[in-house]
Structure 1
Amino acid sequence: MEVAYLQTSIGLAKFEGDEKGLASIKVLDGNKPNGITPEVLVEAVSQFQEYFEGKRQYFDLKLNPSGTDFQKNVWKLLQEIPYGKTVSYLELSKKLGDPKAIRAVASANGKNPLWIVVPCHRVIGSNGDLVGYAGGLHRKKWLLEHESPVKQTTLF
């Protein structure tokens, strides 16, 4: 498994992947360690940088996350949430065909290994509140404001 890093405005992105695809992207606190980006991760790092520069709304990367079939189904649904839009956990549960699966959907959402590329930050509470985010609610807020079609002082 190859590793690369990118310093972003909201933390250090750590990429892990190989020729089979991108396995994980995590956000960390700290500064970028010195090192060369492995060839297999150059495109992922480049697309991520474009996202933070406001030049990219969609990712076109080969993904290879590890998870259960249910988790992978939830992550696939997350990728269907358009840039600049949000959905609730209840809406995702209904799309999976089981409105009672909210907790399972929330759990799968929280285990998403592909920060931003699989946009779990676009999932909010049914009442519109920012709820649960492994990267911290301050990052979720930043990401939603970054993607908002209406630029204003703050959304939340």
Structure 2
Amino acid sequence: MAQAPVVLENVLVGMADLFGVDGAALMLLDGQDRLRAVGASDDDGIALESAQESVGDGPAIASAVRGDLVAINDLHAATPLGFPHVAAHALPVRAVMSVPLVEESELIGVLDFYARIGREWDPAAAQTGSCLGELMVIVLRVLAESRTDSSPSGQM
């Protein structure tokens, strides 16, 4: 549906506002199990996801590989605390929290939250990110179902 990208962008903007971060972005696995950028709350999020996709590394990739939340306080820090090769292409993003998205025990993507200044991600932030990740899985399921539900109202 044509409205799915608008709905997704609005959800990402709302999640970033709710979390109190500068933005949120989404990568989903494609048919070859590679993470692909699919949406963001702003252009900085698109740059972050595009950088990770082109470099083949970054917090979202690490989160997908580990199947666990990855919190980076400063993307510009030296590896393993940061991803300076991604940061060079994702200015002005500094801090990133990547949350794996799992549906029925299968990884489907990664939700990134980011800040334009360095930030400590405390346990409360990790809990919030995880809960918003669960919510994103539900949103994606609803969007997918609305795309496949093409029968006219009242018909079987």
Q: TM-score, normalised by structure 2?
A: 0.30
1 or 2, which has the higher strand percentage?
2
Q: TM-score, normalised by structure 1?
A: 0.30
